[in-house]
Amino acid sequence: MLIGDWDRHQDQWRWSEFELEDGTHLFRAIPRDRDQVYSNFDGALFATLRTMIGITNQFATYDEQLTDVKWFNTAANYLDRALAQNSDRFVWESQARYIQENLTDEQIENAFKNLPAEIYPHESTQVIVENMKKRRDNLLETVNDYYDYLASLAIMTGTDKDDIIEINRIEDGKTEVTIYRNKDGEKADIVAQRVFDSKDTNEIWIYALDDDDIIKAMGSGKNKIKVRVIGGQNNDIYDLEEGKAISIYDHKSKDNTFKAKNGARVRLSDNYDTNLYNPRKNILTSNALTPAIGFNPDDGFKLGIQNVYTINGFNRNPHTRVHKITAGYYFATNGYDINYTGEFAGVFNGVNLLVNGRFAGPTFTENFFGIGNDSENLQDDFDFDYNRVRISEATVGLGIKYNGEYGSNLTILSNLQGIEVEEGNERFITDLIDPETNPDFYERKWYVDTKATYNYESYDNKLNPTRGMIFETTIGGTIATEDVDQSLLYFKPKLGFYNAISRNRKWVIKSTILGQINVGNNYQFFQLAELGQNNGLRGYRTQRFSGQRSFAASGDLRYSFNEFKTGLIPLQMGIFAGADVGRVWVDGEFSDQWHNDFGGGFWVNSAEAIGANFNFFHGDDGLRFSFQVGFSF
């Protein structure tokens, strides 16, 4: 923190071992690879990212005061918790004072005089010198801020041998944890010992690790700190005289002994991630606010935002809680929509709770050209607005999600949807369904939609895959709340592959097939199987074809250029050429027409975090240009 080196991960250290006269082994840390000291990530781009995305705050400017100790130490805090688990505030403060008292202005100035003659006189060198002096002067404050962050979650570990672990609740909201070696059932050497104060510490995680351990808890102190004991391998004995505010996690398949629990909460499972000691696991909240920009002829320019707030606590799958809000405004139609998805880990074993909502304002627009594979696009005779339909939507939903291994997940979701179609002058929908003779059609209707979706995705690089696949299938049903006869079932499969065809993996073939099958004859137009620009036919207007069944296939040949550096960020670009073919079916219609389009475009990725795609495709609707820019932080 003094010299601004934010990249102190595990591989940045080497260790020398010394054996003392009493047989104790002492390890001294040897720092290496000091390639990030005095880093200065200035400029408008990083300043903007630091306000939007929490983790980018570790890429700070080296000035007189370190303002965000949490994010600055992202790469190192797991090492600090593991290696300094016995160190309290006094130890941290004493080390800071030692540096302040022994690192003089003269020593700092003389050290920088060893720089090459071409560099030392530069004004930036003098700025670093002065900032380092001020950081030294502020070091005690900085260390206390960092200690407050570390101490909020304390992690202690036993050994891979037999241990005795004692949790003692003492006065004034303090908890003492002592870990002894177990020699023939008796306490031996102290492995770790520390007193925690509830004013500083919210949770204590104690990992007993391997072999047969004995865990005890005693004491009647008030204002107890939350303690989680993770038993680990082999057979452990739990003897808790006072178990309040203690949670025990151990293997369900192991023969553990519970002599006394006295209020402790016991969770037994063979979940690998729960029972494993992972030093990188801690309590962390993060927020990422990112923009989304796009364009297509139907919506015009789109300006959107996405905010993802992630909470990682002890119980996670893969996170504890995730709140995601997206919103978009579409300039061609003045439409807007807002979406919320919440995911909460562990409602029961391995299954997460889902909560979702959606609101699309009364100006939100979809397209409708009629039912059938031979429907006409009359935009040349009228205009783009003729086939636009304003649809407002209010949806709330509840579901569950199972995250499987290797990129698969299963989601079961039930939504209550309120949808209202707006009357419009000189529109296709009102020519088809007259508001005067069918006023009920334009009133808000409510539906219950329940669906199950299985999804599997695997890519070697998510932004620019050279090998990978996606398989997704959805089975569901929709029923109107006021008319149970107005119902349908649907099936939506999708399969896609990325395959490199050259040794350098620059040439890649992307192929996708998708479709939908509806079962039932009493449905609304917005429940039909649709094909269009965003769904299988990139050279056509959105929702261009609607039917009871649909199928589309797409193929792209992609080429990736080498990454190159710019004055701001590294970029990688690529080009592609592709074609689509597809159609819809309706009972009673006899059509042998297959719709096709062809085109290409280019894409740009930056630092595996920012992605942009630009598309030019030509079909029967003419040449269509679209683009989208998004972030994947």
Closest CA to 530 of 597, 586, 466: 586
pLDDT for the residue numbered 36:
83
- Output phi, psi for 354, to 5 deg: -115, 140
- Taking the C-alpha atoms of residue 544 and residue 371, their distance in angstroms, rounded to an integer, is 10
**0.85 surpassed by pTM:** yes
| ω into 570 cis (within 30 of 0) | no
Instruction: Tell me the pLDDT tens digit for each residue of 213-226.
Output: 999 999 998 889 99
Sorted by where each starts, the structural domains of the chain and their CATH numbers stand as: 10-152 (no CATH), 158-275 (no CATH), 284-631 (2.40.160.50)
Rounded to the nearest 5°, which phi and psi values hold at 283? Answer: -90, 120
Looking only at the bridges linking them, the beta strands covering 226-230 and 203-207 are parallel
Q: Over pLDDT 70: what percentage of the chain?
A: 98
Task: Give the C-alpha separation, 205 to 228, whole Å.
Answer: 5
Q: In this structure, which amino acid lies at residue 383?
A: D
Share of the chain above pLDDT 90, in %: 73
436 — pLDDT class (breaks 50, 70, 90): confident
Q: Worst-scoring range by mean pLDDT, 34-43, 166-175, 470-479, 511-520? A: 34-43
* pLDDT at residue 261 greater than cutoff 60: yes
Would you tell me how many other CB atoms lie within 10 Å of the CB of residue 186?
A: 9
Distance, CA of 609 to CA of 209 (rounded, Å): 37
Q: Which two tokens stand for residue 304?
A: 């959107």
**pLDDT tens digits along 534-589:** 999 999 999 999 999 999 999 999 999 988 877 667 788 999 999 999 999 999 99
The reported pLDDT for the residue numbered 389 is: 94
Task: Record the tokens describing residue 407, joined without a space.
Answer: 């990129």
pLDDT, average across residues 276-298: 92
| Beta strands 351-360; 388-403: pairing state | antiparallel
The stretch 18-37 carries a mean pLDDT of 88
pLDDT of 359 strictly over 90: yes
- In this prediction, residue 6 carries a pLDDT of 87
Q: Looking at residues 283-305, what average pLDDT do you find?
A: 92
Write the burial class of residue 450 (CB in 10 Å: 0-12 exposed, 13-18 middle, 19+ buried): middle
Mean pLDDT across the stretch 270-276? 90
pLDDT mean across residues, the chain? 92
The tens digit of pLDDT for each residue in 108-148 reads 999 999 999 888 888 899 999 999 999 999 999 999 999 99
Mean pLDDT, rounded, for 611-618: 94
| Beta-bridge partners for 248 | 229, 266
